[in-house]
Amino acid sequence: MGKVIAIANQKGGVGKTTTAVNVAASMAATKRKVLLIDLDPQGNATMGSGVDKFEVDSTCYELLIEEKPVEEVIVRETTGKYDLIAANSDVTAAEIKLMEVFAREVRLRNALQPVRDYYDYIFIDCPPSLNQLTVNAMAAADSVLVPMQCEYYALEGLTALMDTIKKLASVVNPDLKIEGVLRTMYDPRNRLANDVSEQLKRHFGSQVYRTVIPRNVRLAEAPSFGAPAMYYEKSSTGAKAYLALAGEILRRRNQTTTS
């Protein structure tokens, strides 16, 4: 059965969508079958996958509210060589309408059931807030990958996020685990970044990925070209870092299944 990983952080601007797009592309490059779900009404992961969010026939709205079959919602042509369920501003309406429907927390989990066995990995790009869409992602996921910058308020925010995930898990998904904590936009010349990085490792130990995503111009430029970094500039440090992250996720999964 495929593994479903929600990529979440209540704080915006931490590299969440960049991580979603690039880890999906890197995992697809290892010949795994990958589905990326854009649950953020801004639709940045959709555009970063080379798909025009204004032109798509169906989005998460049709999947969650109109209960359109998942196979009919999936976009199969993306620049990252993975499949995509798109998002645009319609998904804002989905968040509101979810309040009115039965079993609203598990809409996404139920919708994905027919394709879970087909994909090796399903990544969900969550909105930067704790709303019904994020709750749906947590209910559908096996684990949560948390991208974060190594800056002053990050540790406090991360502790609060971990607490929120635990509370959510107890209500909607008792099997939900932390997949890992990913340090993003990292500048080793910055003393504060190094201090926070050390504190992170002390607090969260092996949950912190060894892979660190550097501050990288190519990573920042790639979305405007509608492509993951590895297809925009594969020799960039950002592209290489996300390939390394995909390898680390695979190794961790192999260790868990063999132990």
pLDDT computed for residue 127 by the predictor: 92
- Average pLDDT, consecutive stretches of 10 residues, N- to C-terminus, the chain (259 residues): 92 90 98 97 97 96 96 97 97 91 92 96 93 94 93 79 87 92 91 89 92 94 96 95 97 79
pLDDT computed for residue 203 by the predictor: 86
**The domain containing residue 228 runs over which residues?**
3-258
pLDDT computed for residue 258 by the predictor: 67
pTM of the model: 0.95
Q: How far is CA 58 from CA 103, 104, 180, 213, in A?
A: 22, 20, 31, 32
Q: How far is CA 125 from CA 201, 214, 244, in A?
A: 25, 20, 20
pLDDT computed for residue 190 by the predictor: 87
pLDDT computed for residue 259 by the predictor: 59
Contact 148, 156 (CB under 8 A): no
pLDDT computed for residue 48 by the predictor: 97
Looking at the 3D structure of the chain, how many domains does it have? 1
Element (H, E) at 94: helix 90-98
pLDDT computed for residue 219 by the predictor: 93
Burial profile 155-171: b = 16 or more Cβ within 10 angstroms, e = fewer: bebbeebbeebeebbee
pLDDT computed for residue 156 by the predictor: 77
The CATH number for 52's domain is 3.40.50.300
pLDDT computed for residue 57 by the predictor: 94
Q: Which two tokens stand for residue 168?
A: 């959510």
